[in-house]
Amino acid sequence: MSTGREDPEAPQWLTDTRASYDADATSYADEVRNLLAELPAEQDAMALFAERVRAQGGGPVADVGCGPGRITAHLRDLGVDAFGIDLSPRMIEVARREHPGVHFEVGSMTQLGLAEGALAALVAWYSIIHVPDEAIGAVLAGFRRVLRPGGLLLVGFHTGEAASPDAQESRGRWPESYVRRRRPSQVAAWIEEAGFTVETHPTLTSAANRLGGVLLARR
């Protein structure tokens, strides 16, 4: 798994995203710490996902782009063997401090350091929002590689018509890691092109108080 050192070959969007979250890790953790308690629709999505994972026999579940680890810890509370991976070393420091006893490591969704078929499930909860359209296919292929046959994929994302960076979303805090909004149908098409079967795709109120998309798919 990545050590968190700068990769001279990394694309600029990846370098910018890491730097942005490194700079804002503590305040971001403060902002989202209790967010899940305010969003029953997201709680329901997590509960359904955890139930499906347990029904399929359990196993390791990666929360990719885990940030300060709130979703990782919630899934563990639901009986899922979850661990967290994040691009930002500072985010991982915060996650380890706030959730002792839970495993977190630095790594990139563009190059997951996991064996083929190692996971029962993978969560990307609002973590593909900084990935450019042209890189989505490779990221999803990487997700599929590390999932075992029948493994589950849960993806959360901001919805909208524009796929290009939205400067308003930075709110002055993350000037380089702009959020990309996607139509649920487009994300579902990308996921299916990567070899998954999409099972559910509700739309709900997101962490940004705008419509968010959730897709549950099976390898």
Q: Supply 104's token pair.
A: 């977190």
User: 2 in a domain, yes or no?
Assistant: no
Question: In this structure, what DSSP letter does residue 33 have?
Answer: T
User: 80 in a domain, yes or no?
Assistant: yes
User: 164 in a domain, yes or no?
Assistant: yes
Which tens digits make up the pLDDT trace of 115-174?
999 999 999 999 998 899 999 999 999 999 999 999 999 999 888 776 455 444 444 454
CATH code of the domain covering residue 208: 3.40.50.150
User: 5 in a domain, yes or no?
Assistant: no
User: 4 in a domain, yes or no?
Assistant: no
Q: Bridge partners of 114?
A: none
Asked if 169 contacts 178 with a C-beta cutoff of 8 angstroms, the reply is yes
Of 32-41, 87-96, 186-195, 198-207, where does mean pLDDT reach its minimum? 198-207
Which 3 state secondary structure label does DSSP give 62? strand
Which tens digits make up the pLDDT trace of 6-38?
455 678 888 888 888 888 888 878 778 878 877
Residues of the domain holding 92: 12-218
Amino acid sitting at position 44: D
Number of helices (H), then strands (E), in the chain: 6, 8
> H-helix or E-strand containing 154?
strand 147-158
Question: In this structure, what DSSP letter does residue 215 have?
Answer: E
- How many domains does the structure of the chain reveal? 1
Amino acid sitting at position 134: E
What's the Rg (C-alpha) of the chain? 16
CA end-to-end span of the chain: 23
Which tens digits make up the pLDDT trace of 53-90?
999 999 999 999 999 999 999 999 999 999 999 999 99
Which 3 state secondary structure label does DSSP give 145? helix
Q: Supply 167's token pair.
A: 């400067």
User: 187 in a domain, yes or no?
Assistant: yes
User: 101 in a domain, yes or no?
Assistant: yes
User: 113 in a domain, yes or no?
Assistant: yes
